[in-house]
Amino acid sequence: MRGEDRPWAELFRPKTLKEIVDNERALSQFIDWLKSWDKGLPEKRAAFLYGPPGVGKTSAVEAAARALGYDLLELNASDFRTAKRIEALIGRSHGYETTVLGRRRMILFDELEGISDREDSGGIQAILSIIKEAKSPIVLIATSIHEVWEQKFRPLRDASLIIEFRSIPFTQVVERLRDVARRMGVTVEEEALERIAEASQGDLRSAINDLEALARGRPHISASDTSILVDRDRASSTQQALNRIFSAGSLAEAKEALASAYLPYEELIDCIYENMPYFFDDPRDLSEGLEALSRADIYEGRTKRLQEYRLLKYVLDWASGGVALSRRNSKGSGLIMAIWSGLERLGFPRGTFSVIEAPDGIHVRPNRYLGDDWGRVNSSIRELGGSWMRGEGFWLVPYFRQPQIIWRYGRTKMGREHQRRVAESVAEKYHISKRRALSEVIPFLKVIFKEAPERSEEIMKWLGLSEDEAEWLKS
């Protein structure tokens, strides 16, 4: 299959119900609901399938239609924004049990979360009318059911059978990736498969896309090759939400954008904090935006400490509308300014690089051979969330920057583990708490291990430290 031109995610997309990975319960609910139409009109004439991207919602509908003999009419968000548009596409077909060829019909409204603006309300009402009159199954699909359900989508929820699709378990993602790699003639180290699966966070489509990207031009993928992985779909949806929050013109618009992101609100607040300097390049705007975010943080602390979840609405108001309405004079050029600033600090004149805005982010391309300077530039751009595009000849800095606290914790994980074990050893020998060991004893040990290495070996044996823990004390 090595010669196939189609994307791997499309090539290995499930065609039958047996090929759907995991979500057996959701699939069983959906099939039972479809079969109930054989006995007449069911109580719920629509099924609403929701869950994260890449878990097989649309594939399950298509496979079920094939298995049960339905003609499937698919529409996505851009097709059903207005009642007039829906009527032009499907007319009165929902009112008939079969097509002109005698086959049963199923209508699928996909990407429902794409309906967000006020002018789309006519489309929502039209879908609701179709559900009430339907004589054939109506299926709705979205990635989440957040706060926005309480307003615009509540009538659709009430009229539908709600079916949740969950993220694909890690082990099943690894197993599927292993099968895809084998069938495409690529050898992949087990650790690399696990890293790809971990980065996908249960999104099988994203995992297969990552595997294909890494395999491009390579017959073998090692664990080190996976260092450039990013969480594509999750990052993409979060970036869209951030763009909408930072450009919102009202509190309602900003809150709606916040609800559209498939992320816990705590993580999204971290993302807003991390990316605000690149969208807010005016100092006064940035100051007001950070003030709004700090108020959100205060309310979040009170919500958790007092268990008063009614305060959560203030967290969301300040983190969305408070931030959005702080932006008055900013042009959104902060990321490019940060890139140029970092390069100039390294001593490079502007003519050394071409910095170009592209749909996927900022491309930083060297105009000359960098030699030993490449490492310094790479470190500077990595601090901005960028990575070197191997084979392309440039660094890509995405417009959306992942919260660096996660990256920092990842980098210091081993050091923190050494710190914990040394503190435990010291606390045990000195009969003190680990907190006192960290604040009162370990700082002196670090000085001794650095300045008096002849004494360090004796102390190391007395405390029962490993070589790695002794190296940590020296660092």
CATH of the domain at 36: 3.40.50.300
pLDDT computed for residue 234 by the predictor: 52
Residue 332 predicted with pLDDT over 80: no
Whether the pLDDT of residue 231 is over 50: the answer is no
Q: What is the pLDDT at residue 445?
A: 86
Q: Residues 391, 423: one domain?
A: no
- Look at residue 72 and tell me if it is in a domain: yes
Buried b (16+ CB within 10 A) or exposed e, 133-146: ebebbbbbbbbbbb
In 3D space, the residue among 402, 268, 255, 400 whose CA is nearest the CA of residue 334 turns out to be: 400
Q: Which amino acid is at 377?
A: V
- Is residue 188 assigned to a domain? no
Number of domains into which the chain is organized: 4
Residue at token pair 């960028």: 386
Q: How far apart are CA 244 and CA 148, in angstroms?
A: 15
Distance CA 301, CA 287 (A): 21
Let me know whether 102 and 130 are in one domain.
yes
Q: Is residue 191 in a domain?
A: no
Looking at residue 328, its pLDDT comes to 81
User: At residue 63, does pLDDT exceed 90?
Assistant: yes
> Which pTM was predicted?
0.50
The residue out of 164, 192, 224 marking a domain boundary is 164
Mean pLDDT is highest, among 22-36, 63-77, 222-236, for: 22-36
Instruction: Give the mean pLDDT of 92-118.
Output: 69
State whether 290 and 367 are in the same domain.
Answer: no
Residues 32 and 153 in one domain: yes
Residues 201, 34: Cα–Cα separation, whole Å: 30
Domain membership flag for residue 452: yes
Same domain, 393 and 409: no
Distance CA 380, CA 347 (A): 12
State how far the Cα of 145 lies from the Cα of 262, in Å rounded to an integer: 9
Residues 238 and 255 in one domain: yes
- Give the structural domain span for 408: 404-474
Shared domain check, 88 and 37: yes
Residues facing 98 on adjacent strands: 104
φ/ψ of residue 356, rounded to 5 = -125, 135
Question: Domain for residue 186, yes or no?
Answer: no
Write down the pLDDT at residue 175. 92
Q: How confident is the model at residue 337 (pLDDT cuts 50, 70, 90)?
A: confident
In a domain, 212, yes or no: no
Same domain, 340 and 448: no
Q: Which of 317, 363, 1 is nearest to 181 (CA)?
A: 1
What is the four-CA torsion angle of 124, 125, 131, 136, rounded to 10 degrees?
-70
Q: Do β-strands 46-50 and 138-142 pair in parallel, antiparallel, or remain unpaired?
A: parallel
pLDDT in tens, 139-195: 999 876 554 454 567 788 888 999 989 888 888 899 999 999 999 999 999 888 988
Q: Are residues 361 and 446 in the same domain?
A: no
Flag whether 190 is in a domain: no
Q: How far apart are CA 284 and CA 382, in angstroms?
A: 28
**pLDDT attached to residue 147:** 44
Decide if 208 is inside a domain: no
The domain boundary residue, chosen from 274, 303, 324: 324
CA–CA separation, 265 and 29 (whole Å): 30
CB 70 within 8 A of CB 137: yes
Percent of the chain at pLDDT > 70 equals: 80
Cα separation of 273 and 84, whole Å? Answer: 41
Which residue, 324, 352, 385, sits at the end of a domain? Answer: 324
Q: Computed from CA positions of residues 174, 175, 179, 185, in that sequence, does the dihedral angle turn out positive or negative?
A: positive
Q: Are residues 459 and 358 in the same domain?
A: no
Mean pLDDT of the chain: 80
- List the structure tokens of 61: 């509908």
Question: Are 31 and 144 part of one and the same domain?
Answer: yes
CA distance 204 to 209: 9
151 and 103 in a single domain? The answer is: yes
Crossing angle for the helix pair 57-68 and 24-36, nearest 10 degrees?
Answer: 40
